[in-house]
Amino acid sequence: MRGIREEFSKALEELKAEFGELWSEEIEGELVELVKRYKVPISEASSVLRRKHLKEKKLRISELSLGFHEEPIRVRVLNVKRGGNKKRVSGIFGDESGLIPFISHIEYQLEEGKCFELRNFLVRRWKGIPTIELVKDSSLQLSSPVEIRNPLLKISELLKRNVNFRVRLIGCILSLKMPSGIVRRCSLCGRILRNGRCKEHENSKSYLDMRLKFILDDGSSSILAIASRKISEEILGMSLEECISEGWEKRREKAEIELKKRLLGKFISIEASLIRASEEILKIERVEVPSDIPSILIERFFEVYTHADNS
């Protein structure tokens, strides 16, 4: 008897998690009735309930996982790019939970601002980022308006989701990974030269660039982040040329000390995508200078605010 009871409560927990907001006491009643009154095996009863009720279930971008999805999702087209002679359409979808890039090799009538209900689509990594791919069997129907929101996330929340495209975060630069600041890259592949050489192209030409690689921490968790030249210049408040004229290219140690002095402990507000190479890396796509960050958010980081709204 105990075995059956355990099996039942396990199935119940799984169904509740799967149904999410759609779960109700009525559905739980149906499960009990099927299993106890009609002696339907638990696994079969679960399938019956799924077939009956989950058709209604609507996904949200933040809940998407990799793989094929039959269930509908409602999205708004944020932007569309149609690529040259290749029949490729790409862009960004959004809903009230976040944003996700999409790609399609089939011409659907996607236009900026239009809202659709999608079914039968794939989610797979494209350049390390989970992306919706519309395939031959995908269906698109115009839908009622979908609101787009891109809520501010905590780093700990980020690590629980699969879709983390252009998420908004606020954090503090905890430590710097070298090489950061001025770097020299291979002209053929863009790799950073080590000891003056590219590991793939021995005597290739090179060029100076700037990048930052650091640990970002928001109190909930921390993550490795990288910034390209433009973003690095904004965070640092100095251009590549200014860094060169300060002599940072020649005097590496001095440069490292200066970088740490300017960056460690600095708060930044960013829009970034979590990409997965060999490890998870946050690629910063937009940054706000610290003076723009409301002090309440800095206080929240240290959790020194009092719960004034408890009353």
Contacts to Zn ion by CB under 5 A: 186, 188-189, 191, 198, 200-201
| 191, amino acid identity | R
Q: What are the DSSP calls for 40-64, one per residue? A: --HHHHHHHHHHHHGGG--B-GGG-
CB nearer to Zn ion: give 189 or 289.
Answer: 189
Please state the closest distance from residue 188 (CB atom) to Zn ion, in A: 4
CA distance 223 to 171: 10
Please state the closest distance from residue 103 (CB atom) to Zn ion, in A: 28
CB nearer to Zn ion: give 198 or 243.
Answer: 198
CB nearer to Zn ion: give 32 or 188.
Answer: 188
Please state the closest distance from residue 235 (CB atom) to Zn ion, in A: 26
Please state the closest distance from residue 203 (CB atom) to Zn ion, in A: 10
Q: Which residue is nearest to Zn ion (CB)?
A: 186
CB nearer to Zn ion: give 152 or 189.
Answer: 189
CB nearer to Zn ion: give 198 or 268.
Answer: 198
Please state the closest distance from residue 252 (CB atom) to Zn ion, in A: 21
37 Cβ contact partners less than 8 Å away, ≥ 6 residues apart: none
CB nearer to Zn ion: give 45 or 183.
Answer: 183
Please state the closest distance from residue 207 (CB atom) to Zn ion, in A: 11
